[in-house]
Structure formats: structure tokens, C-alpha cells
Amino acid sequence: VQLQASGGGLVQAGGSLRLSCAASGRTFSTYNMGWFRQAPGKEREFVAAIRWSGSRTYVADSVKGRFTISRDNDKNTVYLQMNSLKPEDTAVYYCAARGGVWAVNYYSAYQYDYWGQGTQVTVSS
């Protein structure tokens, strides 16, 4: 599967953005999806994940209550709605896909098989 992330940009603190990740292929609905981010000089970190059916979602504590992950399997797209953005949310955001069974350690980047190219999110103070 090929992934294309979009929707990043420059926003003021307190603002909102919605990231999209469009997937190619007819088997998107079988993939568990995740969002990760990487700030300059830092390791890639987990942001959110969603099961293939959309029945369960998981978000990192650092974004809980502000970010929401969702998916539309008819459109082969996963979304990350980001509200109340903070300067510390500034990073390149990546979407990722994992085939097969759901991984207990879904927060680990090593569990994902495919990655998008990333989209830059910059939050100004």
C-alpha cells in the first residue's frame, strides 16, 4: 500500500488542522493505521492509532483530548483532527499502515509496514 499525507501547514497556537492520509490499493480496510510525528533532533513518537474497522482508537497522552483519529474506508483515507494546537506539536507528521493482526504495542513505529512521506505542521506561539 502507498500512503500520501497532506493537510499540514502553519497555524497559530490554539488553532486547528486536519491531516489526511490517502492510501492506494483495494485492501486499505484491512490495515490498521497510525500517526506518528518527529520534531527536529527528536525521535519519532506515537500520536494516534486506529484499528482496521475503526472500532477502536488510541491516542498518546500528550494529545489526548485535543487530537482525534478517524478513517473512511470507502475513501481509503485516515484523518487526524488536531485542535488546540500548541507550539510543542510542531513536527513532521507521518501516517503508517500495518497489515495483519492488531499489534499490542501499536505505539511502536517498528510495528508498521508502510509509511507516508510526512507533512509539516508548524504551530507558532
User: For residue range 54-97, what is the model confidence (pLDDT) as tens digits?
Assistant: 999 999 999 999 999 999 999 999 999 999 999 999 999 999 99
C-alpha cell at 23: 492510501
Q: Write down the pLDDT at residue 103.
A: 81
Contact 67, 48 (CB under 8 A): yes
> Residue 47, Cα to own-chain centre: how many angstroms?
6
Q: Using a pLDDT cut of 90, give the percent of the chain over it.
A: 89
Contact 33, 95 (CB under 8 A): yes
Q: Write down the pLDDT at residue 125.
A: 94
pLDDT band of residue 121 (cuts 50, 70, 90) is very high
User: For residue range 91-103, what is the model confidence (pLDDT) as tens digits?
Assistant: 999 999 998 888 8
Cβ neighbourhood burial of 58 (10 Å; 0-12, 13-18, 19+)? middle
Contact 3, 22 (CB under 8 A): yes
- DSSP strand E in 15-76: where? 17-23, 32-38, 45-50, 57-59, 67-72
Contact 60, 47 (CB under 8 A): yes
Distance CA 81, CA 98 (A): 21
Q: Write down the pLDDT at residue 98.
A: 93
